[in-house]
Amino acid sequence: MTLGLEASGLTMQIDGTTLLDSVALAVPSGSVTALIGPNGAGKSTLIRVLAGVTRPTAGTVAWNGVDLAAVPRRDRARTAALVEQDARAELPMTVESVVGLGRVPYRAMFAAESADELSVVRAALAEVGITSFARRQFDSLSGGERQRVHLARALAQQPKLLLLDEPTNHLDVHAQLDTLELVRRLATRDGVTVLAALHDLNLAAAYADDIVVLAAGCVVASGTPDQVLTPELLREVYRVEATVLEHPVTGRPLIAYSPAAGGAARDDGR
């Protein structure tokens, strides 16, 4: 069964501005899809719509063939977990209690704390490799550490679908690779379906099974990294000149950007 996530005709308009325009995409079950596109393309909006947090003006999101809008909120939160960009708390919280939030969809409103809650939280902390700072204050962590805490929180939701908005933002190279290795592992080992908005095209090329390119609210290309990451597409969507090489180790596409010396890209930017 490879249905996974399927969206069609997703349109989002706010105050007359079209943020998403008939977006259709499919993420097969157990695969990793990277969502790429320039700033303001609508990646975050699309991810929020897919997570069921924002209602689209039109269109449907289906998980394994079931319309997600028809699924009760709590059930949806047990299916899909969302990691936002740089989410901060205003009140002091420990890492452990942030990760514990992942169990909110599993709690009855007035029920007492269940025993397995702690074990799920511990497992999530261990999976992400942050067991050692379980009792630290969330606010005292670096950006990369906070991102991992959020990832652990998402894992505590035991999701089948993981939606990540720029999970590698603000991370150093090691932490970026680490995060995406983990995501890859979740997909391959546990069959979690992943859609991640990424800025770094080389990371997308290295870790994603498929890439969806969003520009001005429209899907302009989708397919495997080999199919999608072409010099023509990069020129058209990002206004950059680039050569697409082959990664010497992985054999995947590797993008080398050309300096825009007197080129069209720079003039266009003005």
Alpha carbons 31 and 173: distance in angstroms, whole number: 23
Residues pairing with 245 in the sheet: 254
Q: How far apart (Å, rounded) are the C-alpha atoms in residues 198 and 203?
A: 8
DSSP letter (8 states) at residue 138: G
Per CB under 8 A, contacts with other proteins among 38-57 are 48, 51-53
Kindly state whether residue 82 participates in binding other proteins, applying the rule CB under 8 A.
Answer: yes
Interface pick for other proteins out of 13, 18, 26, 107 (rule CB under 8 A): 107
The residues that bridge with 66 in the sheet, in sequence order, are 63
Residue closer to other proteins, measured from CB, 52 or 56: 52
Q: From 101-109, 180-188, 203-211, 233-241, give the range in contact with other proteins by CB under 8 A.
A: 101-109
Q: Considering beta carbons, is residue 117 or 209 the nearer one to other proteins?
A: 117
- The pairing of beta strand 32-36 with beta strand 210-215: parallel
130 scored as a contact of other proteins (CB under 8 A):
no
Could you say whether residue 232 binds other proteins (CB under 8 A)? no
* Helix 173-190 vs helix 143-156: crossing angle, to nearest 10: 10
**Separation in Å, CA 1 to CA 29, 33, 74:** 8, 17, 24
CB of 249 to other proteins, least distance (A): 36
Pairing of strands 66-67, 218-223: unpaired
Q: Binding string, 157-186, against other proteins, x = CB under 8 A?
A: x-----------------------------
Among residues 90, 174, 262, 270, the one that binds other proteins under rule CB under 8 A: 90
Taking a C-beta distance cutoff of 8 angstroms, is the pair 172, 93 a contact? no
- Name the residue nearer to other proteins (CB basis): 72 or 262: 72
The one-character DSSP state at 94 is: B
Q: What DSSP string runs through 50-112?
A: HTTSS--SEEEEEETTEEGGGS-HHHHHHHEEEE-SS---SS--BHHHHHHGGGGGGS-TTPP
Q: With binding defined as CB under 8 A, does residue 266 bind other proteins?
A: no
* Sign of the torsion formed by the C-alpha atoms of 156, 161, 165 and 168: positive
Q: How many CA atoms, within 13 angstroms, populate the side-chain half-sphere of residue 22? A: 1
Range in contact with other proteins (rule: CB under 8 A) among 6-14, 108-116, 217-225, 229-237:
108-116
Tell me which of 3, 64, 78, 178 binds other proteins, using CB under 8 A: 78
**Residue closer to other proteins (CB basis): 8 or 140:** 140
> Which one of residues 60, 97, 202, 224 is an interface residue with other proteins (CB under 8 A)?
97
113 sits near other proteins (criterion: CB under 8 A): yes
- What residue ranges bind other proteins (CB under 8 A)? 48, 51-53, 73-78, 80-82, 84, 87-94, 97-98, 100-102, 104-105, 107, 109-111, 113, 135, 157
